[in-house]
A and B are shown apart, each in its own frame.
Chain A
Amino acid sequence: MLPDLPLHLPPLHLAVPLMAAPVGVLWRRPVLAWGWAAVVSAVTLLMAVTTLVTVLGHGPVSYAVGNWPAPWGIELKLDILSALMLVLINGIGLLTVLYGRASVQSEIQASHQYLYYICYLLALAGLSGMVITGDAFNLFVCLEISSLSSYALIAMGKGRKALTAAYNYLVLGTIGATFYIIGVGMLYMVTGTLNMADIALHMQAAPVNRTEVVAIAFLLVGIGLKLALFPLHKWLPNAYAHAPTAVTTFLASTATKVSLYILIRVFFTVLNGAPLLASHLWAEMLVPFAIAGMFSASLVAIFQTNIKKMLAYSSVAQIGYMALGLGFGTVNGLAAGIIHMINHAMIKGALFMAVGCAVLRIGTSASGAVRVESWQGLGRRMPLTMFAFVLAGLSLIGVPLTTGFVSKWYLMMAAFEKGWWLVAVLIVLSSLLAVVYIWRVVEAAYLRPALPGSDTSRCEAPLSMLLPLYLLVAANIWFGIDTRFTVDLAQAAASALFQPVTGLNGGAQ
């Protein structure tokens, strides 16, 4: 039985965290729940890395759940992009758990702390499930597992605004997910199948049909809501701003990225080679929304006094860049979108971790600790945290030798390749807006005097938070200089997605 284990790895990505979550309920003490979550995250990260190595070595992996072959059974399908997403989700997950212990202790009341780790494991299971499945309806179920647990996670935030933020996210998220199943239902009406590759095969064979057009429109709006693509982003700033910082770090680096993954799946697997793709400019349709999001969200970010909200609006802008990469509709554009997806997970992860360190030490009310004014003089009080914030901020802006530069470079290259000069100029201009809002924080922290009555003694965050923070900052610099890992993998994933779907199981096994 044991030698067969690697063969059964695909379902375990979903099953291990899902089964581990209820076990965590037994351990009421926060330390034990934390240890359990850390061990499970380490195991799933190890499995994700194994899967990535297998996929890179032997091509896509297909797994028939319950030994029912596709298209009748649920197929788990792991190509380079899915394996890459798995490593990203589980890597960020492990880092946030390690980082989260001190942060969760200060931001979530003691009796709820073990529930945080359980909800986190459920969210991890849902997110992993979304990227491994090859079945459109199965994806919806995993989407709801991760969404429901993230609503609960957000509601754990200090202060009553977390409750309304979670409620609004619940309403909009459910509408998004319901739009998604309406779309899937219509595709099922036309094709009679739920397996994504099988839907693609049926759609390739049939002429364009109005039901298909409506189905894809529903899917786009539904996924756009979960992705927080401008102008469907209204839930995101409040949810990120009022959630506990560890939750914000995890969700900002993984949840929206997985929604982008679903969008990529719909465009490049479900619509693979379909006449519908050519007759309607689906990808190009994203471009105006992406550019509008890049500018409007960055402009709004400049005027925020709440630093978490500012970074959340910045996330909406960055989602614009990723959607723009998709909108180019070329291999290089898609690769640029995937590169930015990975890089932005590292950038925003580091920025929110730095915010969490500051919140821990400023220690006033939940909303007071993330106000720009409270950060005055923080450069002297928490030099290491602020230095990390500055480095990650530079990466967000896209300064050379950081990952942000790499993503913007490849985005511009893709724009030039398309001959869209104006778009390339707009990418640079919107990056300049990031300089403004990051500078506001840096100015307050280094150049302004501390607020009267506030503690000015030097008081750095504990090592357990600084280490994961600096690990992400180091990743930002490392992958900004040595781009082989991120860029090569993203390009391989993108070109694999452009391969025509010719049969079930993608020709593997």
Chain B
Amino acid sequence: MSWTSLIDHAIGHYNYWVCVVLMMLGFYIVIASGNLIKKIIGLNLFQTAVIMFYISMGKIDGGTAPILVDPEKVSGPVVYTNPLPSVLMLTAIVVGVATSALGLALVVRIKEAYGSIEEDEILAADRASDAKEQAQYAASAAQAAKTEAAQQGHA
């Protein structure tokens, strides 16, 4: 493949570049952001990129909506865009909205429970309560073992 055809190939598929860049931006936000709401926004961006990927793959230049035409008025073949990816994406949008709604509802509950929606603060709060619990149970287990040893010694 020569350089020119390679460049043609890259530019000709610019729609996929847009999708990939958006997808990676969304994915990066999900991973890198510590704010739970920003994570949901990243997730939305990621899903929207996939929706655009599907739509652009079904699109044909100059294609119309796939509606039956009156053969007397229109002569010749009709070019139409594949409707199936668009229909699939209607479902995917519904799923995406449901996911976002549930995710945001969880964020509200997390804010109520922790008083924060920053991941590091939540982790720190969890760690503190874990350490407290660990110390408490370790102490009472040690005490139980001591009591039993004393009882056996007594017997």
Contact = CB atoms under 8 A, between A and B. Distances in A.
B35 to A, nearest CB: 12
Nearest to A182: B50
A368 B95 CA distance: 36
Interface string B107-144: 10110011000000010001000000110011011011
Contacts of B106: 151, 155, 163, 166-167, 170
Contact of B113 (A160, A170, A367): A160
A137 interface: yes
Interface residues on A, range: 35 or more
B145 A373 contact: no
A166 B102 CA distance: 10
A376 interface: yes
B109 A141 contact: no
B144 A449 contact: yes
Contacts of B114: 160, 164
A368 B137 CA distance: 8
A175 B109 contact: no
A177 B115 CA distance: 30
A359 to B, nearest CB: 15
B98 A148 contact: yes
Interface residues on B, range: 35 or more
B81 interface: no
Contact of B50 (A151, A161, A170, A185): A185
Which of B91, B106, B110, B141 has the most chain A CB atoms closer than 10 A to its own CB? B106
Given A137-B88, A144-B95, A170 B144 contact: no
A373 B103 contact: no
A403 to B, nearest CB: 33
B92 interface: yes
A450 interface: yes
A371 B106 CA distance: 26
A174 interface: yes
Contacts of B140: 373, 451-453
Nearest to A169: B106
A452 B143 contact: yes
A160 to B, nearest CB: 4
Contacts of A387: none
Given A141-B91, A174-B47, A374-B137, 13 more contacts: A137-B91, A144-B99, A148-B102, A151-B102, A160-B113, A161-B126, A163-B106, A166-B106, A170-B99, A171-B39, A448-B145, A451-B140, A452-B147
Interface of B: 27, 30, 36, 39-40, 43, 46-47, 50, 53-54, 57, 84-85, 88, 91-92, 95, 98-99, 102-103, 106-107, 109-110, 113-114, 122, 126, 133-134, 137-138, 140-141, 143-145, 147-148
17 contacts: A144-B95, A148-B102, A161-B126, A163-B106, A167-B36, A170-B103, A175-B27, A175-B46, A178-B46, A178-B50, A181-B92, A371-B133, A373-B140, A376-B141, A449-B144, A451-B137, A452-B144
